[in-house]
A and B are shown apart, each in its own frame.
Chain A
Amino acid sequence: MTAAPQSIMPLLTQMTFIVPELMLAVAIVVVIACDMFLPREKSWQCGWVALAGLGIAAMDAVYLWNVTSGRMLGGPARLFWGMVSADNFAMFFKLMFLAGAGVTILLSLRSAELTRMRSGEYYALLLTATMASCFMASSSNMLMLYLALETLSLPSYVLAGYRKSDRQAAEASLKYILFGAVSSGVMLYGLSLLYGLAGSLDYAAITRIATVNYPVFIVTMIFLIAGFGFKMSAAPFHFWAPDVYEGAPTPITAYLSVVSKMAGFAAIMRLLAPYFSMTTIAPYFDAARGMLGRQFDLTSIFWLLAVLTMTLGNFTALRQTNIKRLLAYSSIAHAGYMLTAFVAHNKDAFSAVMFYLIIYFIMNFGMFAAVTFIYNRTGSFQISDWRGLFYRSPIVVVCMGILLVSLIGLPPTAGFVGKWKLFVAVVEEGQRSASPWFFYSLVLIALANSVVSLYYYVGIIKQMCFYEPGEKLANFRFNTTQKLAMLCFAAPIIALQINWQPLSRFVERGMGAARQAVIMIIPMTTHQNQTLRAAEKTHGPQAFDIRHTGDHPC
């Protein structure tokens, strides 16, 4: 018979790299077990168990962040026969997902929409979705990607319709699963064609696609974008988003708009990293020359996608009266801004997306926290019911104002820094390119879109500040915890405008920059080190590095 290709000890050592996910798996089981012993009125306590599990997982992720430090996105350190990558890019997103799930659980514990419901399943499903998004960020194999994507989707469908006695929730759930199943089916067909072209399920094989097959590759990518676009809520795959955001419990809306979207971005960045690292991205159709003096290639698709997404998102947001629907369209528009990075497709642009995602994380969770707190007292999601909120609680409204200004992307907030970094990356790529207006036009459209978004975000501020309080706000006030929470969201937005260097360095390390000796306190265990070296040996010597990495000696 056969001998195993790797002895048992390295396999166990490989498992130390997925301890965060394993901890989540343990937490899922513990939550389900706790739910069995708790009566319905007390089943919310499962939330604290889930939070503890997330905490332990996050602690280990921080430790692994240092272990994998300096290993590039798309680099050769691969575990479990090439299924997942062990690099800082994965750890960066894992940390974000764990933090996002933590905030979601805290919001859920405080949400009036979920009280008196049995919540064991709720937290178990939330943890499952988080675990799946962790694998999605690290998967470097098409099979692993599809499995993780579906495992993220399946609990999301249920969570969106968790208030099953509610008509809107049930509708949201049905729409979500039908859209989701179709788009993942289309994506799967694309993956099958990609498998045929590359001859292997491994991402690295994408670089081996024959030049003659590029037109086929581009059609394949359109199929794939259907699946990723669904997760990122990019137009024209966004139709589910407003209805699902409205029908889902608010903490889940926040989760879908941040964690689920980030998972989509992480997965497509990792999938495209080897392709974008190729020295020339071959043009596809000569016939289509004329699009701003340029041949049609993969970046042209992203150009169209970005423009369509941000324009559709912003213009539809203009006529929304429900805050959850408005934030849904706003999150679609932000997906559009972030998609501009794929047009630039260099290392700076990818760092800018990661930087923007962190800020987007804070802004969106902040806004949804406010929505939850106000709903708890007023029972309404209408923006008109926020009238005169300023006179009830100036501190919270100032915090919300900061978050809204940041969503527009104006100084002095972190949203400005994020957008600036994104657009600078695009403009710089334009300066290097033979057809600069292809890039400049994109930035101009994005800026015009930001101006449009000014209108509806400022509309919210106007409602809160320039009207007398309505009857729904008659006895309204925020308690201290809520005020503190809002301050916690608003403070970093201002602080990051003053000094964003620490966050920039964090993101650079996420892209695989070498670690700084000062931060490195915890020594890497010998076993883990050896495992990574061995993995690098098996999967080839050179990293599929994104272009322009000269300044990082890795």
Chain B
Amino acid sequence: MSPQTVIFYCLAVIIILSAVIATFARNIVNAAYGLFFTLLALGGVYVLLRADFLAVTQIVIYVGGILVLLLFGILLTNRRLEDLIISGQRSSLLGVVMGCVIFAVLLAIIFYARWPQSENAQLEGTTAPLGYLLLQNFLLPFEFSSITLLAALLGASYLVRPSERD
């Protein structure tokens, strides 16, 4: 068993366990911590997949940004922590059955499909080629995403601003 295999299975166990916590934890803060470990371990998997730049991006933006945003959301919307933070669940059975069916279908197609094989040589580092790609082949989406960010910023700031009218 190669060290890569061992690392993959360790990371996979962490990812699945913490994702289960993120999905089923009654306490929403615990769910956020579950998500934290899922995202962190996924960063590790990206390293195994030779996506070093993405691994760093995952940790910096997802773990450092989005997760902190979610925690802020939880803290700002739950004033009485003990009472409100325990979140109810509805129709758990339906959800679990649905999830299992989808998982079964996905497993079936994953094993059925004959995925094309790539014959490309692997790169040593991905940062430089990604930079080229973003400014050449993906120039248009790259520039367009600035409009996306502007819209999100504009919308979010409008919504949380105290309304002038009331």
**A84 vs B109: C-alpha distance when bound (angstroms):** 31
A151 B148 Cβ-Cβ under 8 A: yes
Residue of B113, B147, B163 touching A128 (CB-CB under 8 A): B147
In the assembly, what is the distance between CA of A143 and CA of B134, in Å?
12
In the complex, what residues of B have CB within 8 A of residue A157's CB? 155
Instruction: A5 to B132: give the CA distance in the assembly, Å.
Output: 11
B132, A121: Cβ atoms closer than 8 Å: no
Chain A interface size, as a band, is 35 or more
Q: How far does the Cβ of B116 sit from chain A's closest Cβ, in whole Å?
A: 5
Tell yes or no: B72 within 8 A of A by CB. no
Contact with B along A34-62 (1 / 0, CB 8 A): 00000010000000000000000000000
Whole-angstrom distance from the CB of A543 to the nearest CB of chain B? 22
Closest chain B residue to A144 by CB distance? B141
Q: Is the CB of A84 within 8 A of B140?
A: yes
CB distance from A419 to the nearest CB of B (A): 36
Across the interface, name the chain B residue whose C-beta is closest to A18. Answer: B140
Q: B8 at the A/B interface (Cβ < 8 Å)? A: no
Whether B83 sits at the interface, judged by CB under 8 Å, is no
B115 to chain A, nearest CB (A): 6
Within A129-167, which residues are at the interface with B (CB < 8 Å)? 129, 131-132, 135, 143-144, 147-148, 150-151, 154-155, 157-158, 161, 164-165
Other-chain contact of A216, B113, B132, B147, B154 (Cβ < 8 Å): B113
A454 on the B face (CB < 8 A): no
Q: How far is the CA of A199 from the CA of B113 in the complex (A)?
A: 13
Does A116 lie at the interface of the complex (its beta carbon under 8 Å from any beta carbon of B)? Answer: yes
Complex: A28 Cα to B109 Cα, angstroms = 44
**Which residues in window 188-227 of A have CB below 8 A to B?**
193, 196-197, 199, 210, 212-213, 215-216, 219
Known: A147-B148, A164-B163, A197-B115. A125 touches B155 (CB 8 A): yes
Q: Is A466 on the interface with B (CB-CB < 8 A)? A: no
Pick from B105, B150, B166: contact of A165, CB under 8 Å: B166
Q: B136 contacts A81, CB within 8 Å?
A: yes
B116/A199 in contact, CB under 8 A: yes
* B103 in the interface (beta carbon within 8 A): no
Are the CB atoms of A25 and B147 closer together than 8 Å? yes
Q: Which residues of A sit under 8 angstroms from B151, Cβ to Cβ?
A: 124-125, 128-129, 151, 154-155
Closest residue of chain A to B166 (Cβ to Cβ) is A165
Residues of A within 8 A of B144 (CB): 135, 144, 147-148, 151
A121 touching B109, Cβ below 8 Å = no
Closest to B163 in A: A165
Q: Decide if A28 touches B150 in the complex (CB within 8 Å).
A: yes
Asked whether any CB of chain B lies closer than 8 Å to the CB of A4, the reply is yes
User: Cβ of A4: which chain B residues have Cβ within 8 Å of it?
Assistant: 136
**A125-B154 in contact given A4-B136, A80-B139, A147-B145 (Cβ < 8 Å):** yes
Contacting pair A212 B114 (CB below 8 A): yes
Question: In this complex, what residue of B is CB-closest to A193?
Answer: B109
Give complex CA distance A193, B144 in Å.
Answer: 25
Are A121 and B147 in contact, with the CB atoms below 8 A? no
B124 surroundings in chain A (CB, below 8 A)? none
Query: What B residues does A154 contact at CB under 8 A?
Result: 148, 151-152, 155
Q: Which residues of the other chain, A, contact B115 by a CB distance below 8 angstroms? A: 196-197
Q: Is B79 an interface residue (CB 8 A)?
A: no
Does A475 make an interface contact (CB < 8 A)? no
Interface residues of A in 90-109 (CB under 8 A from B): none
CB proximity to A under 8 Å, residues B102-138: 105, 109, 112-116, 118, 132, 136-138
Chain A residues with CB below 8 A from B136, complex form: 4-5, 81
Identify B116's interface contact among A2, A82, A173, A210, CB under 8 A. Answer: A210
Name the one of B114, B118, B141 contacting A147, with C-beta atoms under 8 angstroms. Answer: B141
Task: Contact check, B109 vs A216: say whether CB atoms are below 8 A apart.
Answer: yes
Residues of A within 8 Å of B139, CB to CB, are 80-81
A150 and B148 form a contact (CB under 8 A): yes
Contact A161 B114 (CB under 8 A): no
Q: Which residues of B contact A117 (CB under 8 A)?
A: 165
Chain B nearest CB from A381 CB (Å) reads: 21
- Chain A residues, CB < 8 A from B138: 81, 83, 143
Chain B residues with CB under 8 Å of A539's CB are none
Contact, CB under 8 Å: B114 / A213:
yes
Whole-angstrom distance between the Cβ of B89 and the nearest chain A Cβ: 16
Please determine whether B140 and A28 come into contact, CB atoms closer than 8 angstroms: no
| Residues from chain A with Cβ under 8 Å of B155 in the complex | 121, 125, 154-155, 157-158
Given A81-B139, A132-B147, A155-B151, output 19 extra A-B contacts at Cβ < 8 Å. Answer: A2-B132, A5-B136, A84-B140, A121-B155, A124-B151, A125-B151, A132-B148, A135-B144, A144-B141, A151-B144, A151-B151, A158-B159, A164-B158, A196-B113, A196-B115, A199-B118, A212-B114, A213-B114, A215-B109
- What residues make up the interface of B, taking CB atoms closer than 8 Å to A? 105, 109, 112-116, 118, 132, 136-141, 144-145, 147-148, 150-152, 154-156, 158-159, 163-166
Residue contacts A-B, CB under 8 angstroms, 20 given: A4-B136, A5-B136, A28-B147, A28-B150, A32-B154, A40-B164, A80-B140, A81-B136, A121-B154, A125-B151, A125-B154, A143-B138, A143-B141, A148-B144, A154-B155, A158-B158, A197-B113, A213-B114, A216-B112, A219-B105
